[in-house]
Amino acid sequence: MWRDTQPAPPDPILGLTEAWKADPNPQKVNLGVGVYQDEQGRTPVLPSVKAAEAALLGRETTKAYLPIAGEPEYARRVEELVFGAGDRPAGGGRVRTAYAPGGTGALRVAGDLAAALGGRGHTVWLSTPTWPNHRGIFSAAGLETREYPYFHAATGSLDRDGFRAALERVPVGDLVVLHAGCHNPTGVDLEEPDWEWVAATAQARGWIPVVDAAYLGFAGTVEQDAAPLRRLLAAGVNFLVAVSFSKNMSLYRERVGALVLAAADTGSADAIFSHVKRVIRVLYSNPAAHGALTATAVLSDALLRSMWDREVAEMRARLAAVRTAFSDALSARMPDRDFGFIRRQRGLFSFTGLTPAQTTRLRERYGIYMTVDGRVNVVGLTPANLDYVADAIAETIRAVA
Ligand code: LMR
């Protein structure tokens, strides 16, 4: 069996970074993986994170195991961030939160939870298109994946009619993965009335939203970007949230995330959470500490929290500025085309409409790496490479229809 094993295909996103690293082209540009970069192309440790880590190092007294679901203080801070800090506990007793190793880990725990409660073959619905790893994660958990319409390519906007028609028919108990904002890969988000509709429909039909919240703070403030989650909670919906601090705290390699669940009442929240803990116990036993302790320190210290808010605002400002620069650079080279969609899309990604033939040519001829579906991580663009990339895209669009 081992002798006859064929190599697995490279990952469509992380595999690009490996290929980019191996490319000898001195002008190569990595617009693939969704990692924030500053104008110099660096992904620095945030100063708020550095300060939190320095303090932690001095305070740390043990490396003993954490509880299966992580530190309760981490859970509390995540809930406050997501649902707001009021006089009452953020979720009013219906909410439970477990640490998870990144957003990916949270989604896998959600998948295993669904399989534990609903059985293997339980169905999860994904947007067309979606982050390719969604399918892999839920399939690995033994769930059946199906798709609902989301993106209307001709207009570069939400296929609202298709979206609603499909979700109106989702059976009770199925999971529906939604992106809280900065939809990956399209950058096209649900708007407020859509979330209102989602809350009412999930509630009426009994399907369970699984909200992938990987980019809180990258479209609006963290508060603004968390509004859909607060709406679902207020509507009394049963739902799950996969929170990630990879992007907004730049904690990528520390793997810091959380699975948040909101159930009908305290009793069912406790019962479901007991299954979350069983799922975690067999997946990785209990959490890694460093990243979550760091995030807890940033979120709980008033000074570090305000530093972090400013840092997120800076990242958001660069995202907006680079979108304008990218759209202008392409419009200047191809005045007959409309690149306004690049400004309208939100988050790290621009879904350019470049075809697989065009993205392949950009990689082979220019050393410009993006996912094959034409998704570009816009902050991979810097003042040093913007003209090179815009020239190459314009030349390629002319050369390959
Ligand atoms: C991406 O879509 O590029 C990011 O979410 C990173 C990843 O793990 O794929």
The whole-number average pLDDT for the span 308-323 is 97
Of 110, 64, 86, 79, the closest CA to residue 273 belongs to: 110
Atom of ligand 1 nearest to the CA of 34: 3
Question: In the prediction, which pLDDT does 119 show?
Answer: 80
Atom of ligand 1 nearest to the CA of 131: 2
The C-alpha atoms of residue 239 and residue 262 are separated, in whole angstroms, by 5
pLDDT single digits (tens) 216-240: 999 999 999 999 999 999 999 999 9
Contact (CB, 8 A) for 12 and 371: yes
Residues of the chain with CATH 3.90.1150.10: 14-45+309-399
Number of CB atoms found within 10 A of residue 54's CB: 10
Number of CB atoms found within 10 A of residue 152's CB: 16
The C-alpha atoms of residue 246 and residue 103 are separated, in whole angstroms, by 8
Rounded distance from Cα 329 to ligand 1 centre (Å): 26
Question: In the prediction, which pLDDT does 86 show?
Answer: 66
Report residue 145: phi and psi, to 5°: -100, 135
List residues with catalytic annotation. Answer: 131, 212, 247
Tokens of 65: 């195991």
Among 1-5, 12-16, 114-118, 133-137, which range has the highest average pLDDT?
133-137
Residues of the chain with CATH 3.40.640.10: 65-300
Rounded distance from Cα 142 to ligand 1 centre (Å): 22
Rounded distance from Cα 110 to ligand 1 centre (Å): 18
Q: pLDDT band at residue 50, thresholds of 50, 70 and 90?
A: very high
pLDDT single digits (tens) 79-124: 999 998 865 556 669 999 999 999 999 999 999 999 999 887 799 9
Ligand 1 atom 6: residue of nearest CA: 34
Rounded distance from Cα 266 to ligand 1 centre (Å): 34
Contact (CB, 8 A) for 262 and 97: no
Atom of ligand 1 nearest to the CA of 13: 9
Report the topology of domain 65-300.
Aspartate Aminotransferase; domain 2 (3.40.640)
Q: pTM of the entire structure?
A: 0.95
Rounded distance from Cα 33 to ligand 1 centre (Å): 5
Q: What is the 3-state secondary structure (H, E, C) of the chain?
A: CCCCCCCCCCCCCHHHHHHHHHCCCCCCEECCCCCCCCCCCCCCCCHHHHHHHHHHHHHCCCCCCCCCCCCHHHHHHHHHHHHCCCCCCCCCCCEEEEEECHHHHHHHHHHHHHHHHHCCCCEEEEEECCCHHHHHHHHHCCCEEEEEECEECCCCEECHHHHHHHHCCCCCCCEEEEECCCCCCCCCCCCHHHHHHHHHHHHHHCCEEEEEECCCCCCCCHHHHCHHHHHHHHCCCCEEEEEECCCCCCCHHHCCEEEEEECCCHHHHHHHHHHHHHHHHHHCCCCCCHHHHHHHHHHHCHHHHHHHHHHHHHHHHHHHHHHHHHHHHHHHHCCCCCCHHHHHCCCCEEECCCCHHHHHHHHHHHCEECCCCCEEEHHHCCCCCHHHHHHHHHHHHHHCC
Question: In the prediction, which pLDDT does 120 show?
Answer: 76
Question: In the prediction, which pLDDT does 28 show?
Answer: 96
The C-alpha atoms of residue 148 and residue 164 are separated, in whole angstroms, by 9
Report residue 223: phi and psi, to 5°: -55, -50
- Determine if ligand 1 sits within 6 Å of the CB of residue 184: yes
In degrees, rounded to 5, the angle at the alpha carbon of residue 369 between the alpha carbons of residues 217 and 18 is 90
Indicate the top mutation candidate among 37, 126, 133, 215 to test ligand 1's pocket, ranked by most ligand atoms within 8 A of CB. 133
Place of tokens 């001195």: 26
Question: In the prediction, which pLDDT does 89 show?
Answer: 55
CA atoms lying within 13 Å on the CB side of residue 82: 34
- Determine if ligand 1 sits within 6 Å of the CB of residue 75: no
Indicate the top mutation candidate among 11, 13, 179 to test ligand 1's pocket, ranked by most ligand atoms within 8 A of CB. 13
Question: In the prediction, which pLDDT does 113 show?
Answer: 97
Ligand 1 atom 1: residue of nearest CA: 34
CA–chain centroid gap for 220, Å, is 15
- Determine if ligand 1 sits within 6 Å of the CB of residue 13: yes
Q: pLDDT band at residue 353, thresholds of 50, 70 and 90?
A: very high
CATH superfamily ID and name for 14-45+309-399: Aspartate Aminotransferase, domain 1 (3.90.1150.10)
Atom of ligand 1 nearest to the CA of 185: 2
What percentage of the chain carries pLDDT values higher than 70? 98
Q: pLDDT band at residue 401, thresholds of 50, 70 and 90?
A: confident
Question: In the prediction, which pLDDT does 85 show?
Answer: 80
The whole-number average pLDDT for the span 308-336 is 97
pLDDT single digits (tens) 138-191: 999 999 999 999 999 988 899 999 999 999 999 999 999 999 999 999 999 999
- Determine if ligand 1 sits within 6 Å of the CB of residue 33: yes
